[in-house]
Amino acid sequence: MNDYRCRVSEEDARDSHFDGLTDAEERELALQAHIDRRETLKAIVAASQEKIDRLLKFANFSPDAEDIEAAETLDECLDFYIYKFILKDREVKP
């Protein structure tokens, strides 16, 4: 029977951070984690929007100051990321 396992160097075996993954495998795992986080955020935001829409259908629903402050904080955080990832990339660099 053939043994196709990778050989681990003594140095790697002593390294407490060595996980046995190749660089390509680590990149694939990081990419998948990145995609999963984006999909999770998208799902949370969509669910939150649906809940807000349902609440706003009730005339007696009145958000208090803390609700408005929380929404403003979220909006400011999103503004930060929009600037960081979108607008900043469009700036002309000397």
pLDDT tens-digit profile of 13-22? Answer: 556 666 677 7
Q: How confident is the model at residue 93 (pLDDT cuts 50, 70, 90)?
A: low
Phi-psi domain of 20 (left: phi exceeds 0; alpha: psi -120 through 50; beta: other): left
Predicted confidence (pLDDT) per residue in 1-34, tens digit: 565 666 656 665 556 666 677 778 889 989 999 9
**pLDDT, mean of residues 67-75:** 95
> Sign of torsion, CA 7 10 13 17?
negative
Report the candidate in 34, 5, 32 with the shortest Cα–Cα distance to residue 20.
Answer: 5
Place of tokens 């929007």: 49
Question: What is the pTM (predicted TM-score) of this model?
Answer: 0.63
Domain range for residue 93? 63-94
End-to-end Cα distance, the chain: 63
Q: What is the pLDDT of residue 87?
A: 73
In this structure, the answer to whether residues 53 and 71 fall within a common structural domain is no
Which structure tokens are listed for 64? Answer: 């208090």
Q: Quick one: 41 and 52 in the same domain?
A: yes
